[in-house]
Chain A
């Protein structure tokens, strides 16, 4: 376990992010034109990378089951559409999702640690995590304590991630940085390294509960971080932008960014996920457009 001073020295020793340059590069990566067969492959890849998410106070077991059915077979009219990467729910609904997805090969991801605010005692956060794992969650999406991070208490954030990782057991740990609350790109880079050093298997942009959620420049900085982290340590960490990605065009921009910034190694559901709910329908509409040659409409797809 590092000391607070060592952590602080390391994180503040990271090179700063050129904000204008990062915005510019992210915008430029969004101008690539991906068409026809490449688009078809990108759409299927994006579907397979999707963490199909429902995180509402009004979630019911029935809604989760409906979502799981859609995760297994996104478009009944096109059986060749791939299944999604995972289904992401609150920890108390993990059991329902696990039952509904049994045998499908799709894992259940659960948010935990007092999502989305992360304002709870550590014992409560760990109990939340253990309950989700015990119910069968294969992946845990934890939130960091942004208050501690912004106050400069990096050691506390580090310890929480280490403890949560221990509570996860075999389950993968995704660490949500909630970049919309971190204010600067420098903080995004520091939080990324902090989470990776503490043992995160994935770093995730946002909870989706506050705006801005995932943005291209923030995701690009996180992709740079996982690339540099692998160069430095040999361990490969995944990235998951979540929140605000609603259109196929946006999703494809992210895929281009993964390929250009982190490299093609990350173009797999094991290392890149997109957290979204309404995105799936748009991907399916585009998929049908490519297959049938006519524009599709939202009336022809399920609502959730």
Chain B
């Protein structure tokens, strides 16, 4: 009898509604490392996986958006704690994808720090972009930011920092997200999904699909129950068509902009998916 242990290989699946299903289509695609060597098979999501993910995100929206910002901040901070616990695994995955040891380590640090940074904004963004408006009458007039709804995100290729930098700002304010992960480097995204699944984040708040961007993005852009779309990972020549498809239900569209994710992000990515609600309150009796 051999004492050599068989390796336990991980099957990379999708993350929809808090569960890890395979693609409805049964397809998968080969993910290679930077040198073209085989790394793993990842699920290749279909339009029906997009549909299911949007249903899950819509279902989660009511509960997630009505939590107190403080509670959302706590849960996001918990995600950061879990990320920290999986540091070594993320570093290993980034190295397998071709990053040098120090670069991989630095990217994971930056990603965790970015997540914590956004978690801190949960109960502050309302104070920064909301307002008490002076009006000529016996009223309080308050403008408060409200989450937009279900946000479709086409994630950029930065395997971890880029992904964190688009997902965290969308959900911290109460939106729920359907994320199409980086096409060439989806493995760290699925590992991130495992972190999200084990950190008190309600199922469906983040749904993560791997597969072909060109196949999935148009379904997300045209979906009438998606309220906003972030085109961060879309190539310049595909943006116009997606914007056109998104126009039918007046989606908010965030065009691809900066590409260096290590820059200080600012609050633009949060405010992009907020709507301002203004309410008049009569001044008390």
Contact = CB atoms under 8 A, between A and B. Distances in A.
Interface of A: 293-300
Nearest to A299: B225
Nearest to A297: B225
Counting contact residues on chain B (CB < 8 A from A), the size range is: 10 to 19
B222 interface: yes
B248 A295 contact: no
A121 B245 CA distance: 61
A300 B225 CA distance: 9
22 contacts: A294-B219, A294-B222, A294-B223, A294-B224, A294-B245, A294-B248, A295-B51, A295-B54, A295-B219, A295-B223, A295-B224, A296-B224, A296-B225, A297-B58, A297-B224, A297-B225, A297-B249, A298-B58, A299-B224, A299-B225, A300-B224, A300-B249
Contacts of B51: 295
A294 B244 CA distance: 13
A6 B66 CA distance: 61
The prevalent SS among residues of B at the interface is: helix
A298 B62 CA distance: 14
A295 B54 CA distance: 10
B269 to A, nearest CB: 24
Contacts of A294: 219, 222-224, 245, 248
A99 to B, nearest CB: 34
Contacts of B248: 294
Contacts of A299: 224-225, 249
A15 B50 CA distance: 47
B125 to A, nearest CB: 25
Given A294-B245, A297-B226, 17 more contacts: A293-B222, A294-B222, A294-B223, A294-B248, A295-B51, A295-B219, A295-B222, A295-B223, A295-B225, A296-B224, A297-B223, A297-B224, A297-B225, A298-B58, A299-B225, A299-B249, A300-B224
A293 B58 CA distance: 20
A260 B59 CA distance: 35
Interface in B206-229: 219, 222-226
A75 to B, nearest CB: 13
Interface in B38-74: 50-51, 54, 58
Contacts of B223: 294-295, 297
A294 B223 CA distance: 6
Nearest to B149: A299
Interface string B236-272: 0000000001001100000000000000000000000
Nearest to A300: B224
- List the 9 closest A-B pairs by CB distance, nearest first: A297-B225, A294-B222, A297-B224, A295-B223, A296-B224, A295-B51, A300-B224, A295-B224, A294-B224
Contacts of B225: 295-299
Contacts of A295: 50-51, 54, 219, 222-225
Nearest to B218: A294
A166 B219 CA distance: 56
A295 B249 CA distance: 11
Nearest to A293: B222
> Which of B50, B58, B224, B245 is packed against the most chain A CB atoms within 10 Å?
B224
A298 B249 CA distance: 12
A294 B247 CA distance: 12
Contacts of A293: 222
A300 B249 CA distance: 9
Nearest to B50: A295
Contacts of A297: 58, 223-226, 249
Nearest to A296: B224
Contacts of B224: 294-297, 299-300
Interface in B18-55: 50-51, 54
Interface in B156-178: none
B247 to A, nearest CB: 12
B242 to A, nearest CB: 13
Contacts of B58: 297-298
A298 B61 CA distance: 14
A238 to B, nearest CB: 33
Nearest to B224: A297
Contacts of A296: 224-225
Nearest to B225: A297
Contacts of B249: 297, 299-300
Centre residue among A294, A298, A300 by max chain B CB count within 10 A? A294
B48 to A, nearest CB: 10
Interface string B185-223: 000000000000000000000000000000000010011
Contacts of A298: 58, 225
A161 B159 CA distance: 69
